[in-house]
Amino acid sequence: MGTTYWPKDPLDGNDMTLLTSILRRWCARYGIEFTAEESRRKARELVEWFEFGVKDPVELEELINDKHWLVSPI
């Protein structure tokens, strides 16, 4: 049996509290049940951004709200 190398740090309680609060606000904003499939998909996206290195709560909220795609008209 080989050794598995996992380069990501595990999420701790503080990380989970932060991510859960962001996800709950997103669910409330869009009227989606916290346990709904769409919420689960958003949770996966949120964790991916966090593991990618985005730790700022404001930036995380903008990313899951898809605001990173908005550009102002010229």
In a domain, 59, yes or no: yes
Copy the structure tokens of residue 2.
């080989």
Please report whether residue 5 resides in a domain.
Answer: no
Q: Is residue 54 domain-resident?
A: yes
Place of tokens 């740090």: 9
pLDDT 10s digit of each residue in the chain, 74 long? Answer: 566 666 777 889 999 999 999 999 999 999 999 999 999 999 999 999 998 889 999 999 999 987 654 444 44
Identity of residue 67: K
Residue 57, in any domain of the structure: yes
25 in a domain, yes or no?
yes
Helical H segments across 8-56, by residue range: 13-30, 37-52
Environment class of residue 55 by beta-carbon count within 10 Å: exposed (0-12), middle (13-18) or buried (19+)? exposed
Which domain range does residue 37 map to? 17-66
Residue 11 inside a domain? The answer is no
Closest CA to 43 of 68, 30, 24, 28: 24
Q: How many domains does the chain have?
A: 1
